[in-house]
Amino acid sequence: MDSFTVPPELKGTKGDILAARIEVPILVAMIYGIVEFVRLGWSRDYYLYTYGPVLGGVAATIGLFAYLSVVSEERKKSRKDLLVLLGFLPYSFALYLMGVLGLYTIFEGLIGEFSLWSMIGGIFWVFLGFHLIYRFYRMTEIVRKHDQKTKLAWPL
């Protein structure tokens, strides 16, 4: 037997709800990027606050739904490498949220010009990025444990 089955935790509405919970932080960051486009304009001087959230959010969304479409059907071993590559997109976007929009904003609020609101905003982005990483990690762990159980059940 050379294929993996679909984890029961990701079948039907359970998988859809889990995907929606993962998508919410991505959508919040994309909306923030669109608002910053309107506020700051199309200049590339502010690409970390405009282009980054929007294009990174689009890439993370594509990666998430491609990951879910591969996981939600029986797959062969060769698709495992594809899952790893697709998983990097939401993970890297979450690190971007935590690092650039979170920690860098806190750093700017402390060092540049002291701003309590900037630091609170940075804490919000760190929390949102952590929320995204944690939810996506839970989903990948469900898949990994199910694949491991399936692999152990194979006859030698």
pLDDT in tens, 131-147: 999 999 998 898 888 88
How many C-beta atoms surround the C-beta of residue 113 within 10 A?
8
- What is the value of pTM for the model shown? 0.86
Domain ranges, residue 119: 3-153
DSSP E strands, the chain: 3-4, 75-76
Contact 129, 102 (CB under 8 A): yes
Q: How many domains does the chain have?
A: 1
Of the candidates 22, 18, 2, the one whose C-alpha atom is nearest the C-alpha of residue 10 is 18
Question: Quick one: pLDDT band at residue 3, thresholds 50, 70, 90?
Answer: low
- d(CA 9, CA 82) in angstroms, rounded, equals 21
pLDDT tens, position by position, 26-61:
999 999 999 999 999 888 888 888 999 999 999 999
- d(CA 78, CA 83) in angstroms, rounded, equals 10
pLDDT at 155: 64
Partners of 4 in beta bridges: 75
Q: Which residue has the tokens 């990483």?
A: 133
Question: Quick one: pLDDT band at residue 120, thresholds 50, 70, 90?
Answer: very high
How many C-beta atoms surround the C-beta of residue 18 within 10 A?
18
- d(CA 148, CA 107) in angstroms, rounded, equals 42
